[in-house]
Structure 1
Amino acid sequence: MAANDWDWNPEKQKSIVVQQVDAIAIYTNVRGEIVIRQQGFAGQEDAIVAFPRAYAETIIAALTAEAGKA
């Protein structure tokens, strides 16, 4: 396949092993909450989730459980 014939459509390209993911940042805001922020796609607003630090372990456990599902 020539370089200019490449098609990133995953339905056409079985060789794509990682789909595009918008940037994700994790930081603490001025209120001491943990923030998970994902960059908006094509100029859209960022998606933001903020939660009290006390819930971090519960959220991590839920993420770990979800990641372990097949």
Structure 2
Amino acid sequence: MDTKSWEKIYSLGDRSLFLANCSTFAIAAVDYPGCKPNCIYFSDDSPLLGPTTRLDVGIYDCQNLKLEK
């Protein structure tokens, strides 16, 4: 935050990232059984994306580059 610059990353390692409208946080996946490491869990309540692309909730696997509903 001090440099106010972005850094591109390709892996979250053993962490999982949770993204939502009101909160964003990361956890160590090993501490939460059933949680996949190197994945982004997200919720989408925005009508801006339109009805055809809206998933509501999903998981993006950063290793396999796959989106799961």
> Same fold by TM (over 0.5)?
no
Q: What TM-score results when the alignment is normalised by the length of structure 2?
A: 0.31
Q: Larger helix proportion, structure 1 or 2?
A: 1
